[in-house]
Amino acid sequence: MSSNAPPADSYPSQSSHVTALDLPVPPRESLPPDLQKYFRICEEKIGFLPNVLAAYAFDEKKLRTFIGFYNELMLEDSPLSKLEREMIAVVVSSANRCYYCQVAHGQAVRELSGDPALGELLIMNYRAAVLSPRQRAMLDFAHKMTVAPDAIVAEDRDALRQAGFDDRSIWDIAAVAAFFNLSNRMATAVDMMPNPAYHAKNR
């Protein structure tokens, strides 16, 4: 419940920095041509250059290894669909309360699923979502890996197998969940801010 009200102005504007570290984003034209081209393609597909790429751009090698790792994981062939990988990304990012990743990958879930409510559910509490047993098992494993990694035992892998995943798929579930435990912490540690344009997309 809420009442109508004129917009208030009693709080500060939100930050527009890329990160809180003094590691300035280099001018686009100073990057090698292939990275300039990669950035242009991102902008065309997404509508803007994701801040995470701007954040890594202070160091060309780090940018390249990040892009390589990320794209292999999220965009290459996998027994998991892209939506499933994004669902894992959101559940992990929610457990770690990473602002950047919840915004960016919540949008991806809305877009790939065509269902705005699903993105909200996975951010707010994936246990409240209606999921297939396969997806529930996948997200339960990713969630446990995130909040209690030391307690993962053989029974947890067996639960995935019983939900229909083969060992090749289990590797990818683990790899995606593990990766967002990296990127969540990197984004939070440097206070990375998501592009504001994410918020209104696919609502």
**Positive/negative CA dihedral, 194, 197, 199, 201:** negative
* CB of residue 27 to a copy of itself, shortest distance in Å: 19
User: Of the candidates 129, 46, 45, which has an alpha carbon nearest to the alpha carbon of residue 91?
Assistant: 129
User: Of the candidates 148, 18, 151, which has an alpha carbon nearest to the alpha carbon of residue 95?
Assistant: 148
* CB of residue 46 to a copy of itself, shortest distance in Å: 7
Identity of the residue, 137 or 184, whose beta carbon is nearer to a copy of itself in the bound complex: 184
> In angstroms, rounded to a whole number, what is the distance separating the alpha carbons of residues 56 and 190?
11
* CB of residue 24 to a copy of itself, shortest distance in Å: 10
Identity of the residue, 31 or 134, whose beta carbon is nearer to a copy of itself in the bound complex: 134
Identity of the residue, 28 or 197, whose beta carbon is nearer to a copy of itself in the bound complex: 197
* CB of residue 147 to a copy of itself, shortest distance in Å: 10
Cα 123 from chain centroid?
11
User: b/e per residue, 165-185, with b = 16+ CB within 10 A?
Assistant: beeebbebbbbbbbbbbebbe
Are the C-beta atoms of 15 and 184 separated by less than 8 Å? no
Identity of the residue, 30 or 152, whose beta carbon is nearer to a copy of itself in the bound complex: 152
* CB of residue 28 to a copy of itself, shortest distance in Å: 17
In angstroms, what is the C-alpha Rg of the chain?
Answer: 18
Identity of the residue, 36 or 149, whose beta carbon is nearer to a copy of itself in the bound complex: 149
